Amino acid sequence: MPKKTFYENQAKTIIKNMEKRNFEGYYVSTAAEAKQKVFALMEPGSSVSWGGSMTMAEIGVFEELEAGNYTLLDRTKAGTPEEARALYAKIVMADYYLMSTNAITLEGELINIDGNGNRLACLMQGPKNVIIAVGMNKVVPDVRSGYLRVKNTASPPNCVRLNRKTPCAVTGECEDCYSPDCICSHTVVTRRCGIPGRIKIILVGEELGY
């Protein structure tokens, strides 16, 4: 199919650009292959945590994690703020942290916006390895386009999914709000990986996530 060929060619360009950024890049054609690649990159018996990721959910990673031989650090299991804080101290020392990215440029830069920042904190520092799965629908020409994609394409449906009372959940477009339910508190552009190979990015030739 022409679109699949386009995705593959585009991914080659991005992965080549990732090399100078110390990212470890891969391309797979399908979500099923993406799931296989995620687990191929992890050692059984390791500790694993994750950020809120519709992409990882869509490719079926979480069901297999539950059935596998891993120590799972699930932040949603914390019952109190104290438990959440104690669990987060373990998450930042995890062997693997799983997430997606809100956008990725043709040059290989990652653009992400978070509400609380826990996902971005782990992307930047802490876990030994970060594995990112991202659909080719999230590829953008440059950082500015990535920022606009997150604000107008990713954040509004995420606010609907999370039942957030924000203007974008109603209008479908970013209104640069300061709502108590706003999920756009922290904006991070990751232009390189300080530790070569720590961040592993799996480009997937399908439309995944928001």
Provide the sign of the torsion angle of the four alpha carbons 101, 183, 189, 120, taken in this order.
negative
Which pLDDT tens digit goes with each residue over 44-53?
999 999 988 9
Domain of 59, in residue numbers:
2-106+116-139+193-204
pLDDT of residue 75: 87
**Residue 80 lies inside a defined structural domain of this protein:** yes
Contact residues for 2 (Cβ-Cβ < 8 A; gap 6+):
none
Which pLDDT tens digit goes with each residue over 65-115?
999 999 999 988 888 989 989 999 999 999 999 999 999 999 999 999 999
Q: How many CB atoms lie within 10 A of CB 21?
A: 18
Which pLDDT tens digit goes with each residue over 158-169?
999 999 999 999
**Residue 167 lies inside a defined structural domain of this protein:** no
pLDDT of residue 100: 97
**Which CATH number does the domain housing residue 75 bear?**
3.40.50.10420
Cα R_g (the chain), whole angstroms: 17
**Residue 154 lies inside a defined structural domain of this protein:** no
**Residue 25 lies inside a defined structural domain of this protein:** yes
Residues 144 and 110: beta-carbon distance below 8 Å: no
**Residue 150 lies inside a defined structural domain of this protein:** no
Mean pLDDT of the 154-158 span: 95
**Residue 74 lies inside a defined structural domain of this protein:** yes
**Residue 166 lies inside a defined structural domain of this protein:** no
Which pLDDT tens digit goes with each residue over 32-43?
999 999 999 999
Mean pLDDT of the chain: 96
pLDDT of residue 78: 85
Residues 138 and 209: beta-carbon distance below 8 Å: yes
**Contacts of range 32-36, beta carbons closer than 8 Å, 24 or more positions apart:** 32/59, 32/60, 33/204, 34/59, 34/133, 34/202, 34/204, 35/59, 35/60, 35/61, 35/64
pLDDT at 119 over 90: yes
Instruction: Read off the tokens for 159.
Output: 């606010």
Q: How far apart, in Å, are the Cα atoms of 49 and each of 59, 72, 86, 170, 174?
A: 16, 6, 14, 32, 30
**Residue 57 lies inside a defined structural domain of this protein:** yes
